[in-house]
Amino acid sequence: MTADLLTAPVAMPKNFLQPCLLLLLREQPAHGYELLERLRAFGFERADPGRLYRSLQKLEDAGLVRSAWEASSSGPARRIYEITRVGMADLHEKAKGLVGTRGTLDHFLGRYEEFVALRRPESPGSAGGHASGGSRFIPRGSSPGRSTPAR
């Protein structure tokens, strides 16, 4: 059972791409390729460019971001996206919603840890970090260094 838990995929909240895009654009205006690269920090390892541009178009249609073409000295013009005031307000509301989600998840995980100990992944580069970047699951009553017999 623990082997399956060790390799479990990270579950993102529904529509998590939108607040991530708004946050990245709040930090600085950017073009699509740059946003794809910066989304990796939020767990979007295999970001789909089509999905990215559809999301940006929806955000623009809703008035949350705006875009303009910018000439490039090293190639074709690129569309640069930036957040609007309405987008900043929407980002704030989405962040408040995520705080509530975090509370719910903490409650769930606290109850689940009555059965299985979970270790939060350590930040990259810190001592003891795991190459997989995932959580370590250790059944209650066992130690990380020894295997637990099946029940």
pTM metric for this prediction:
0.70
Beta strands in the chain (DSSP E): 30-31, 65-72, 75-83, 116-119, 136-139
For the chain, report the end-to-end CA distance as a whole number of angstroms: 10
Chain Cα centroid distance, residue 60: 21
- For the segment 11-21, the average pLDDT, to the nearest whole number, is 88
pLDDT band (50, 70, 90) for residue 87 = very high
Higher pLDDT, 13 or 73: 73
Q: Percent of the chain scored above 70 by pLDDT?
A: 72
Domains of the chain: 2-139 (1.10.10.10)
Tokens, residue 77: 């013009």
Residue 43 has pLDDT above 60, yes or no: yes
